[in-house]
Amino acid sequence: MINLFSYNWQVREEWFKWFKSLPEEELIKPRIGGMGCILHNLLHVINCERIWISQISGSPCAP
């Protein structure tokens, strides 16, 4: 499980670096699939990570 978590964290960091190189217009540009745009997909992933961490730690996850 630790290897999977480490791999996911590495990929996450690579995506964040890529996102930082994009102009804002690309982040909010409407797209087919996912949550509708890159920014909303990113926020969804971050929210899922927050939920996972809360569940793993046994903490309640407030919205």
In the chain, how many domains are there?
1
Residue 4 lies in a domain: no
Domain that holds residue 41: 31-57
Residue 46 lies in a domain: yes
pTM reported for the whole predicted model: 0.71
Residue 53 lies in a domain: yes
Query: Which residue has better confidence, 5 or 37?
Result: 37
User: Which of 3, 11, 5 has its CA nearest to residue 52?
Assistant: 5
Beta strands in the chain (DSSP E): none
Residue 17 lies in a domain: no
CA distance 41 to 36: 7
* pLDDT tens string 9-58: 888 899 889 989 999 999 999 999 889 999 999 898 888 888 888 888 88
